[in-house]
Amino acid sequence: PESGVVPAVESTADDITAMRIRGAAAIADAAATALATQAERSTADSPAAFEQELRAAAATLYETRPTAVSLPNALRYVLRGMDGDTVAALRSSTIARAERFKRDLAQAQDRLGEIGSHRLQDGDTVMTHCHSTDALACVEAALEAGKDLEAIVKETRPRKQGHITARQLREWDVPVTLIADNAARRYLDRTDHVLVGADSIAADGSVINKIGTSGVAVNARERGVPVMVAAQTIKLHPDTMTGHTVEIEMRSESELLSDEERAAIIDDATGEVAEAGATEDSNQTQVTDSGLTVENPAFDVTPPRYVDAIVTERGQFPPESIVTLMRELFGEPTDDPWDG
Ligand code: RUB
Protein backbone atom coordinates (compact mmCIF):
# COMPACT_ATOMS: atom_id res chain seq x y z
CA PRO A 1 0.00 0.00 0.00
CA GLU A 2 0.94 3.64 -0.47
CA SER A 3 1.46 4.18 3.26
CA GLY A 4 4.31 1.65 3.19
CA VAL A 5 2.80 -0.25 6.10
CA VAL A 6 4.14 -3.81 5.86
CA PRO A 7 1.75 -6.81 5.77
CA ALA A 8 3.00 -8.08 9.15
CA VAL A 9 1.68 -4.92 10.79
CA GLU A 10 -1.69 -5.30 9.06
CA SER A 11 -1.89 -8.89 10.23
CA THR A 12 -1.03 -8.00 13.84
CA ALA A 13 -3.74 -5.35 13.70
CA ASP A 14 -6.20 -7.97 12.41
CA ASP A 15 -5.20 -10.37 15.20
CA ILE A 16 -5.84 -7.70 17.83
CA THR A 17 -9.20 -6.72 16.32
CA ALA A 18 -10.31 -10.37 16.12
CA MET A 19 -8.96 -10.99 19.66
CA ARG A 20 -6.56 -13.71 18.55
CA ILE A 21 -4.17 -11.45 20.44
CA ARG A 22 -5.96 -10.13 23.52
CA GLY A 23 -5.38 -8.85 27.02
CA ALA A 24 -3.80 -5.46 27.56
CA ALA A 25 -0.22 -6.64 28.14
CA ALA A 26 -0.20 -9.03 25.18
CA ILE A 27 -1.62 -6.31 22.93
CA ALA A 28 1.14 -3.88 23.98
CA ASP A 29 3.82 -6.49 23.38
CA ALA A 30 2.44 -7.37 19.95
CA ALA A 31 2.21 -3.70 18.98
CA ALA A 32 5.86 -3.09 19.87
CA THR A 33 6.87 -6.19 17.91
CA ALA A 34 4.89 -4.96 14.92
CA LEU A 35 6.61 -1.54 14.97
CA ALA A 36 10.00 -3.26 15.11
CA THR A 37 8.99 -5.37 12.11
CA GLN A 38 7.89 -2.25 10.27
CA ALA A 39 11.28 -0.67 10.99
CA GLU A 40 13.12 -3.79 9.89
CA ARG A 41 11.25 -4.27 6.62
CA SER A 42 10.77 -0.65 5.65
CA THR A 43 11.91 0.22 2.14
CA ALA A 44 11.77 3.96 2.83
CA ASP A 45 14.46 5.89 0.97
CA SER A 46 14.58 8.94 3.22
CA PRO A 47 14.43 9.57 6.96
CA ALA A 48 11.19 11.52 6.52
CA ALA A 49 9.59 8.65 4.58
CA PHE A 50 10.72 6.18 7.24
CA GLU A 51 9.20 8.24 10.04
CA GLN A 52 6.01 8.65 8.04
CA GLU A 53 5.77 4.87 7.60
CA LEU A 54 6.28 4.22 11.28
CA ARG A 55 3.57 6.72 12.14
CA ALA A 56 1.21 5.06 9.65
CA ALA A 57 1.98 1.65 11.16
CA ALA A 58 1.27 3.03 14.64
CA ALA A 59 -2.03 4.50 13.43
CA THR A 60 -3.04 1.13 11.94
CA LEU A 61 -2.36 -0.60 15.25
CA TYR A 62 -4.01 2.18 17.27
CA GLU A 63 -7.28 1.83 15.35
CA THR A 64 -7.85 -1.79 16.47
CA ARG A 65 -9.40 -1.65 19.95
CA PRO A 66 -10.04 1.49 21.98
CA THR A 67 -10.03 0.59 25.68
CA ALA A 68 -6.65 -0.84 26.67
CA VAL A 69 -4.34 2.19 27.04
CA SER A 70 -1.33 -0.12 27.02
CA LEU A 71 -1.67 -0.01 23.23
CA PRO A 72 -1.21 3.76 22.68
CA ASN A 73 1.28 3.83 25.58
CA ALA A 74 3.37 1.20 23.79
CA LEU A 75 3.16 2.96 20.42
CA ARG A 76 4.08 6.30 21.94
CA TYR A 77 7.03 4.81 23.79
CA VAL A 78 8.49 3.12 20.72
CA LEU A 79 7.97 6.09 18.39
CA ARG A 80 9.61 8.46 20.86
CA GLY A 81 12.74 6.33 20.69
CA MET A 82 12.99 6.70 16.91
CA ASP A 83 16.16 8.73 16.56
CA GLY A 84 18.79 9.44 13.90
CA ASP A 85 19.67 11.32 10.68
CA THR A 86 19.70 8.33 8.35
CA VAL A 87 17.25 5.53 7.61
CA ALA A 88 19.75 3.04 9.02
CA ALA A 89 20.03 4.96 12.31
CA LEU A 90 16.28 5.40 12.57
CA ARG A 91 15.78 1.71 11.88
CA SER A 92 18.19 0.51 14.53
CA SER A 93 17.04 2.99 17.18
CA THR A 94 13.40 2.01 16.64
CA ILE A 95 14.15 -1.71 16.83
CA ALA A 96 16.24 -1.24 19.96
CA ARG A 97 13.52 0.83 21.57
CA ALA A 98 10.86 -1.80 20.81
CA GLU A 99 13.07 -4.52 22.24
CA ARG A 100 13.65 -2.49 25.37
CA PHE A 101 9.91 -1.94 25.71
CA LYS A 102 9.22 -5.67 25.53
CA ARG A 103 11.94 -6.45 28.04
CA ASP A 104 10.66 -3.80 30.46
CA LEU A 105 7.11 -5.07 30.05
CA ALA A 106 8.08 -8.61 31.04
CA GLN A 107 10.23 -7.37 33.91
CA ALA A 108 7.48 -5.10 35.20
CA GLN A 109 5.08 -8.02 35.24
CA ASP A 110 7.51 -10.15 37.23
CA ARG A 111 8.13 -7.36 39.72
CA LEU A 112 4.40 -6.64 40.03
CA GLY A 113 3.75 -10.33 40.62
CA GLU A 114 6.24 -10.41 43.44
CA ILE A 115 4.68 -7.36 45.09
CA GLY A 116 1.15 -8.65 44.62
CA SER A 117 2.06 -12.06 45.99
CA HIS A 118 2.73 -10.50 49.40
CA ARG A 119 -0.99 -9.87 49.75
CA LEU A 120 -1.78 -13.56 49.28
CA GLN A 121 -1.50 -15.84 52.30
CA ASP A 122 -0.93 -19.57 52.37
CA GLY A 123 -4.31 -21.30 52.03
CA ASP A 124 -6.10 -18.32 50.45
CA THR A 125 -8.74 -18.57 47.75
CA VAL A 126 -8.76 -15.98 44.98
CA MET A 127 -11.68 -15.20 42.70
CA THR A 128 -10.69 -14.21 39.17
CA HIS A 129 -12.52 -12.48 36.33
CA CYS A 130 -11.51 -12.73 32.67
CA HIS A 131 -7.86 -13.59 31.93
CA SER A 132 -5.17 -11.21 33.13
CA THR A 133 -1.48 -12.03 32.91
CA ASP A 134 -0.74 -9.33 35.50
CA ALA A 135 -3.19 -10.92 37.95
CA LEU A 136 -1.81 -14.39 37.26
CA ALA A 137 1.74 -13.13 37.86
CA CYS A 138 0.72 -12.47 41.49
CA VAL A 139 -0.57 -16.02 41.83
CA GLU A 140 2.54 -17.45 40.21
CA ALA A 141 4.88 -15.56 42.55
CA ALA A 142 2.87 -16.68 45.59
CA LEU A 143 3.09 -20.30 44.43
CA GLU A 144 6.81 -19.91 43.90
CA ALA A 145 7.08 -18.66 47.47
CA GLY A 146 5.58 -21.98 48.54
CA LYS A 147 2.04 -20.79 49.30
CA ASP A 148 -0.92 -23.02 48.51
CA LEU A 149 -3.76 -21.21 46.79
CA GLU A 150 -7.15 -22.13 45.42
CA ALA A 151 -9.12 -20.30 42.76
CA ILE A 152 -12.71 -19.61 41.96
CA VAL A 153 -12.71 -18.72 38.30
CA LYS A 154 -15.54 -16.75 36.76
CA GLU A 155 -16.39 -18.00 33.31
CA THR A 156 -16.58 -14.40 31.95
CA ARG A 157 -19.26 -14.19 29.33
CA PRO A 158 -19.60 -13.70 26.51
CA ARG A 159 -16.16 -14.91 25.37
CA LYS A 160 -15.28 -17.14 28.33
CA GLN A 161 -11.72 -15.93 28.88
CA GLY A 162 -12.11 -17.58 32.31
CA HIS A 163 -11.29 -20.83 30.55
CA ILE A 164 -7.83 -19.47 29.71
CA THR A 165 -7.33 -18.56 33.36
CA ALA A 166 -8.53 -21.99 34.48
CA ARG A 167 -6.14 -23.73 32.10
CA GLN A 168 -3.17 -21.68 33.33
CA LEU A 169 -4.03 -22.28 36.99
CA ARG A 170 -4.43 -26.01 36.45
CA GLU A 171 -1.02 -26.05 34.74
CA TRP A 172 0.32 -24.65 38.00
CA ASP A 173 -1.65 -27.30 39.89
CA VAL A 174 -3.96 -24.79 41.59
CA PRO A 175 -7.36 -26.32 42.46
CA VAL A 176 -9.93 -24.49 40.31
CA THR A 177 -13.67 -24.10 40.76
CA LEU A 178 -15.17 -22.73 37.55
CA ILE A 179 -18.43 -20.83 38.04
CA ALA A 180 -20.93 -18.96 35.92
CA ASP A 181 -20.64 -15.21 36.32
CA ASN A 182 -24.08 -15.17 37.92
CA ALA A 183 -22.81 -17.36 40.77
CA ALA A 184 -20.06 -14.98 41.86
CA ARG A 185 -21.83 -13.40 44.83
CA ARG A 186 -22.63 -16.78 46.33
CA TYR A 187 -19.00 -17.86 46.05
CA LEU A 188 -17.65 -14.70 47.66
CA ASP A 189 -18.36 -16.51 50.96
CA ARG A 190 -15.42 -18.76 50.14
CA THR A 191 -13.18 -16.04 48.69
CA ASP A 192 -10.28 -14.24 50.39
CA HIS A 193 -9.40 -11.89 47.51
CA VAL A 194 -10.99 -10.81 44.30
CA LEU A 195 -8.01 -10.54 41.95
CA VAL A 196 -8.41 -8.86 38.56
CA GLY A 197 -6.32 -7.05 35.97
CA ALA A 198 -6.98 -3.79 34.16
CA ASP A 199 -7.11 -2.43 30.63
CA SER A 200 -6.84 1.15 31.83
CA ILE A 201 -6.60 2.97 35.14
CA ALA A 202 -7.96 6.51 35.27
CA ALA A 203 -6.43 9.37 37.22
CA ASP A 204 -9.17 9.19 39.87
CA GLY A 205 -8.31 5.52 40.50
CA SER A 206 -11.21 4.07 38.51
CA VAL A 207 -10.40 0.68 37.06
CA ILE A 208 -11.47 -0.16 33.53
CA ASN A 209 -11.51 -3.91 33.02
CA LYS A 210 -13.57 -6.70 31.44
CA ILE A 211 -17.32 -6.18 31.69
CA GLY A 212 -18.55 -7.62 34.97
CA THR A 213 -15.58 -6.46 37.05
CA SER A 214 -17.56 -3.64 38.67
CA GLY A 215 -20.37 -6.00 39.66
CA VAL A 216 -18.10 -8.43 41.41
CA ALA A 217 -16.21 -5.56 43.07
CA VAL A 218 -19.40 -4.03 44.49
CA ASN A 219 -20.53 -7.43 45.77
CA ALA A 220 -17.11 -8.08 47.25
CA ARG A 221 -17.26 -4.81 49.18
CA GLU A 222 -20.67 -5.78 50.53
CA ARG A 223 -19.25 -9.12 51.67
CA GLY A 224 -16.05 -7.61 53.05
CA VAL A 225 -13.78 -9.32 50.54
CA PRO A 226 -10.84 -7.16 49.42
CA VAL A 227 -10.48 -6.34 45.72
CA MET A 228 -6.97 -6.30 44.34
CA VAL A 229 -6.18 -4.94 40.87
CA ALA A 230 -2.93 -6.05 39.26
CA ALA A 231 -1.87 -3.50 36.67
CA GLN A 232 1.54 -2.51 35.37
CA THR A 233 2.07 1.22 34.98
CA ILE A 234 1.60 0.77 31.21
CA LYS A 235 -2.12 0.51 32.11
CA LEU A 236 -2.23 4.05 33.51
CA HIS A 237 -4.21 6.27 31.17
CA PRO A 238 -2.43 9.65 30.75
CA ASP A 239 -5.34 11.43 29.02
CA THR A 240 -7.54 10.99 32.11
CA MET A 241 -5.27 13.47 33.90
CA THR A 242 -6.76 16.19 31.72
CA GLY A 243 -10.36 15.09 32.09
CA HIS A 244 -10.73 12.72 29.14
CA THR A 245 -12.77 9.60 29.73
CA VAL A 246 -11.81 6.10 28.62
CA GLU A 247 -13.70 4.79 25.62
CA ILE A 248 -15.52 1.54 26.31
CA GLU A 249 -15.39 -0.82 23.35
CA MET A 250 -18.73 -2.06 22.05
CA ARG A 251 -18.45 -5.44 20.35
CA SER A 252 -20.58 -7.31 17.86
CA GLU A 253 -24.00 -8.58 18.88
CA SER A 254 -23.03 -11.93 17.33
CA GLU A 255 -21.01 -12.62 20.51
CA LEU A 256 -24.33 -12.74 22.37
CA LEU A 257 -26.85 -13.95 19.86
CA SER A 258 -26.70 -16.26 16.85
CA ASP A 259 -29.03 -15.74 13.91
CA GLU A 260 -31.10 -18.74 15.07
CA GLU A 261 -31.34 -17.41 18.60
CA ARG A 262 -32.38 -14.06 17.24
CA ALA A 263 -35.05 -15.71 15.12
CA ALA A 264 -36.33 -17.60 18.16
CA ILE A 265 -36.82 -14.33 20.05
CA ILE A 266 -38.46 -12.48 17.21
CA ASP A 267 -41.56 -14.28 15.93
CA ASP A 268 -41.74 -12.62 12.58
CA ALA A 269 -38.07 -13.18 11.81
CA THR A 270 -38.18 -13.83 8.08
CA GLY A 271 -36.34 -11.26 6.07
CA GLU A 272 -35.56 -8.94 8.95
CA VAL A 273 -32.88 -11.25 10.32
CA ALA A 274 -30.92 -11.30 7.11
CA GLU A 275 -31.12 -7.55 6.90
CA ALA A 276 -29.98 -7.04 10.47
CA GLY A 277 -27.02 -9.35 9.88
CA ALA A 278 -26.01 -7.37 6.83
CA THR A 279 -25.42 -4.13 8.69
CA GLU A 280 -22.15 -2.71 7.49
CA ASP A 281 -20.38 -2.02 10.77
CA SER A 282 -20.89 -5.14 12.84
CA ASN A 283 -19.48 -3.49 15.95
CA GLN A 284 -22.33 -1.05 16.16
CA THR A 285 -25.44 -1.76 18.14
CA GLN A 286 -28.09 -2.79 15.67
CA VAL A 287 -31.54 -1.43 16.10
CA THR A 288 -33.92 -3.09 13.70
CA ASP A 289 -37.64 -2.55 13.42
CA SER A 290 -38.00 -5.82 15.34
CA GLY A 291 -37.68 -3.78 18.53
CA LEU A 292 -34.86 -6.01 19.78
CA THR A 293 -31.60 -4.27 20.62
CA VAL A 294 -28.47 -6.16 21.62
CA GLU A 295 -25.68 -4.28 23.37
CA ASN A 296 -22.33 -5.83 24.09
CA PRO A 297 -19.90 -3.56 25.94
CA ALA A 298 -16.56 -5.29 26.47
CA PHE A 299 -15.47 -3.33 29.55
CA ASP A 300 -16.83 -1.47 32.54
CA VAL A 301 -15.64 1.07 35.09
CA THR A 302 -15.14 0.15 38.74
CA PRO A 303 -15.12 3.28 40.91
CA PRO A 304 -12.11 3.62 43.23
CA ARG A 305 -14.16 3.13 46.40
CA TYR A 306 -14.63 -0.55 45.53
CA VAL A 307 -10.93 -1.18 44.99
CA ASP A 308 -8.61 -1.91 47.91
CA ALA A 309 -5.28 -1.85 46.14
CA ILE A 310 -3.77 -1.29 42.73
CA VAL A 311 -0.63 -3.37 42.50
CA THR A 312 1.98 -2.07 40.05
CA GLU A 313 5.67 -2.80 39.50
CA ARG A 314 6.30 0.43 41.44
CA GLY A 315 4.53 -0.80 44.55
CA GLN A 316 0.92 -1.05 45.63
CA PHE A 317 -1.28 2.02 45.81
CA PRO A 318 -4.69 2.89 47.20
CA PRO A 319 -6.62 3.88 44.05
CA GLU A 320 -7.00 7.46 45.25
CA SER A 321 -3.26 8.07 45.14
CA ILE A 322 -2.50 6.52 41.76
CA VAL A 323 -2.54 10.02 40.23
CA THR A 324 0.74 10.89 41.96
CA LEU A 325 2.39 7.98 40.18
CA MET A 326 0.80 9.08 36.90
CA ARG A 327 2.21 12.60 37.24
CA GLU A 328 5.63 11.21 37.96
CA LEU A 329 5.56 8.84 34.98
CA PHE A 330 3.85 10.94 32.33
CA GLY A 331 4.55 14.52 33.33
CA GLU A 332 2.80 17.03 31.10
CA PRO A 333 0.46 15.58 28.48
CA THR A 334 1.57 15.95 24.85
CA ASP A 335 0.16 15.09 21.42
CA ASP A 336 0.39 11.57 20.04
CA PRO A 337 3.32 11.28 17.62
CA TRP A 338 1.16 9.51 15.00
CA ASP A 339 -1.27 12.43 14.85
CA GLY A 340 1.06 13.99 12.28
C1 RUB B 1 -8.95 -8.63 28.78
C2 RUB B 1 -9.08 -8.03 30.16
C3 RUB B 1 -7.91 -8.23 31.09
C4 RUB B 1 -6.96 -7.04 30.97
C5 RUB B 1 -5.66 -7.28 31.72
O6 RUB B 1 -10.02 -8.27 27.93
O7 RUB B 1 -10.03 -7.38 30.50
O8 RUB B 1 -8.36 -8.31 32.41
O9 RUB B 1 -6.66 -6.79 29.62
O10 RUB B 1 -4.94 -8.34 31.12
P11 RUB B 1 -10.05 -8.85 26.43
P12 RUB B 1 -3.35 -8.41 31.26
O13 RUB B 1 -10.08 -10.33 26.53
O14 RUB B 1 -11.30 -8.26 25.85
O15 RUB B 1 -8.82 -8.34 25.72
O16 RUB B 1 -3.06 -8.39 32.74
O17 RUB B 1 -2.94 -9.70 30.63
O18 RUB B 1 -2.78 -7.21 30.59
- The torsion angle over the Cα atoms of residues 135, 136, 139 and 144, rounded to 10 degrees, is -130
**Which pLDDT does position 274 carry in this prediction?**
46
Same domain? 192 vs 182: yes
Model pTM score: 0.92
- Residue 230 bridge partners (DSSP): 311
Same domain? 260 vs 234: no
Pocket of ligand 1 (CB under 6 A): 22-26, 68, 130, 132-135, 161, 197-199, 209-210, 298
Same domain? 119 vs 236: yes
**Which pLDDT does position 34 carry in this prediction?**
98
88-118 pLDDT, tens digit per residue, is 999 999 999 999 999 999 999 999 999 999 9
How remote is the CA of residue 3 from the centroid of ligand 1, in Å? 30
Residue 150 has pLDDT above 60, yes or no: yes
Specify the CATH number for the domain of residue 122: 3.40.50.10470
Residue 276 has pLDDT above 70, yes or no: no
Pocket test for ligand 1, best of 139, 200, 209 (most atoms within 8 A of CB): 209
Of 13-17, 277-281, 296-300, minimum mean pLDDT range: 277-281
Same domain? 208 vs 259: no
Does residue 338 sit within a domain?
A: no
Known catalytic membership, residue 130:
yes
Same domain? 140 vs 209: yes
Residue minimizing CA distance to atom 12 of ligand 1? 132
Same domain? 170 vs 190: yes
How remote is the CA of residue 171 from the centroid of ligand 1, in Å? 20
Residue 2 has pLDDT above 70, yes or no: no
Does residue 316 sit within a domain?
A: yes
How remote is the CA of residue 142 from the centroid of ligand 1, in Å? 21
Residue 286 has pLDDT above 60, yes or no: no
Pocket test for ligand 1, best of 160, 210, 213 (most atoms within 8 A of CB): 210
Contacts of 301 (CB under 8 A, 6+ apart): 202, 206, 207, 208, 214, 246, 248
Same domain? 258 vs 211: no
The ligand 1 atom at the shortest distance from the C-alpha of residue 196 is 8
Does residue 56 sit within a domain?
A: yes
Does residue 2 sit within a domain?
A: no
Does residue 311 sit within a domain?
A: yes
Average pLDDT over residues 262-283: 60
Same domain? 102 vs 142: no
Specify the CATH number for the domain of residue 39: 1.20.120.420
Same domain? 312 vs 166: yes
Residue 121 per-residue DSSP state: P
Does residue 1 sit within a domain?
A: no
Contacts of 321 (CB under 8 A, 6+ apart): 205
**In whole angstroms, what is the distance from residue 65 CA to residue 188 CA?**
32
* Number of domains composing the chain: 3
217-253 pLDDT, tens digit per residue, is 999 999 999 999 999 999 999 999 999 999 999 999 9
**Which pLDDT does position 95 carry in this prediction?**
98
Same domain? 40 vs 176: no
163-214 pLDDT, tens digit per residue, is 999 999 999 999 999 999 999 999 999 999 999 999 999 999 999 999 999 9
Same domain? 93 vs 65: yes
- What is the ipTM for the molecules in this complex? 0.99
Residue 273 has pLDDT above 90, yes or no: no
Does residue 336 sit within a domain?
A: no
Give the residue numbers spanning the domain of 166: 112-242+299-330
